[in-house]
Structure 1
Amino acid sequence: MKAPPTHAPHTRVFHDPEETAGQLAGFLLALIGKRLAESENFFMAVSGGSTPLLLFHRLAHAGGRIPWNRIHLFWVDERCVPPGHPESNYGQAQQVWLQKITMPRENIHRMRGEDDPVIEAQRYGREIENILPKKKGLPAFDVVLLGLGNDGHTASLFPGDNDSLISEKSCLAIRHPQTGQNRITLTPRIINRSKIVCFLVTGKEKAAPVQFILENSPSSEKFPGSYIRPEEGELYWFLDAGAAGRIPA
């Protein structure tokens, strides 16, 4: 069963994917500045896919406004392919974003998609435990950035795989239910400890799962995205007009 929401989600709707990604980039810049005024480092986890690339492009052009040497970057999920493969989430981020900024190599914590997925999931879980600051004795990201699939999946958490949704582990190896591709993913257990979680969702084909999840209806339980409910943090939905098309005005 899902945990009840601690705080009502913040929903922000914009005209198109480009504006939505730009607004999230501005939100992140402000958040990073605020956190780094209070803490030595900033810890974030990002997703793959086409929509985040719009965000990465804007972050790449943020210039000197972000002290990249104080940011530690993790991934929410990864396909089990080498980093140079076109489907690699890390590889896509590297091409669009990371190669255009100066971030210390040791601050980039990629999932090693070329390694055995079970062993790598265990290693990545330990890395998170060792590096992230603790909140009530447990590791917590400053921000986690998520997407949402047409089927309501998020990260590499897919409908029907309830064991992954309630796992006590921070990181798991899973198989895509249709393609059989091996993947590595963070779980709701670690994501829900984050101070802030942001969904970036665009396209009218996402409107139905967005509606069900935000309404917290009984039907929402079939969508893994509905299991993302920060325990003490804040949840934001950055939506374009298409994705928000079924939300009551």
Structure 2
Amino acid sequence: MQRHTYPDIESLSQGFADFSESVLKNILARKPQATLVVPGGNTPRHYLPALAKCQLPWDRITVTLSDERWVDVHDEQSNEHLVKKYLMAQLPESARFVGLKTQHDSPFDAVNAIHQHLDSLPLPLSLTVLGLGEDGHIASLFPGMNTDLLSTHHCVATAPPIAPSLRVSLSLNFLVKSEHIALVVTGKNKRRLLDQLSENPDLKLPIVWLLQRTQLPIMVFEMNES
């Protein structure tokens, strides 16, 4: 991990946006299209608007999600709803968004269809942005999952240990093939977790699975909260 610490959420958001703009511009200098993966949650409400202000050829960038709750896309809990509100609504209409939610009753029934949608994206994923849970989960990959089951498709259906809805997540194998991975972390407990993992990696945690499998450094954007 390459950790970058900021004094407040505004400077973190700008630092993240500057990094993302540079990465995507470099990729688009050698490729016609790029794919940007973004998460849901509370923190993206702050940095997605900063990302939207970047001077990028958004018509050449396809935006998708790291994971999704199996709820209606207009529901306040939907990651698609959040990303459309805080990012896509600020972008030119030519910007393309590919969601993960389908009309299937369950994400377990939708894996093949979502895999095909994801397979149509410009691959490998250009820049994947992830959050981090206090339990070490990333996207909707949680401790206790069988990692052998995460590599057969680009996505996997999950039933989180404590959550009101089922979810679909990009698979570990799909995530680690990303050209660049960024982790945006706020909250003292999550920073402490990263400190601990630097000295003593816990092999039960999905963030450690990712760190062990990727060949590139993960860029971490974190806030210095006392």
TM-score by length of 1: 0.83
Distance change >3 Å, CA 177–CA 30, structure 1 → 2: same
SS at match of 1:228: helix
Tell me, in whole angstroms, the C-alpha distance in 1 between the residues paired with 2:167 and 2:103. Answer: 10
Q: How does 1:1-249 map to 2 (within 5 A)?
A: 9-62=1-54, 65-104=55-94, 107-112=96-101, 114-115=103-104, 116-133=106-123, 140-163=124-147, 166-215=150-199, 217-218=200-201, 220-229=202-211, 231-242=214-225
State the identity as a percent: 25
Tell me, in whole angstroms, the C-alpha distance in 2 between the residues paired with 1:103 and 1:233. Answer: 33
Deviation at 1:168, TM superposition (A): 3.1
SS at match of 2:120: helix
Tell me, in whole angstroms, the C-alpha distance in 1 between the residues paired with 2:190 and 2:32. Answer: 37
Q: Deviations over 1:1-42 (max 9, x none)?
A: xxxxxxxx2111111222212201110111112211111111
Tell me, in whole angstroms, the C-alpha distance in 2 between the residues paired with 1:174 and 1:198. Answer: 22
Conserved 8 A contact 2:176-2:214: yes
Tell me, in whole angstroms, the C-alpha distance in 2 between the residues paired with 1:97 and 1:21. Answer: 13
Conserved 8 A contact 2:185-2:221: yes
Distance change >3 Å, CA 104–CA 124, structure 1 → 2: farther
Conserved 8 A contact 2:49-2:90: no
Give the partner amino acid of 1:224: P
Deviation at 1:114, TM superposition (A): 4.9
Q: Deviations over 1:202-227 (max 9, x none)?
A: 11121232123333x24x22321111
Give the partner amino acid of 2:114: Y
Structure 1, unpaired ranges of 5+ = 1-8, 134-139
Deviation at 1:237, TM superposition (A): 1.0
Equivalent residues, number: 224
Conserved 8 A contact 1:83-1:114: no
Deviation at 1:55, TM superposition (A): 1.3
Give the partner amino acid of 2:125: F
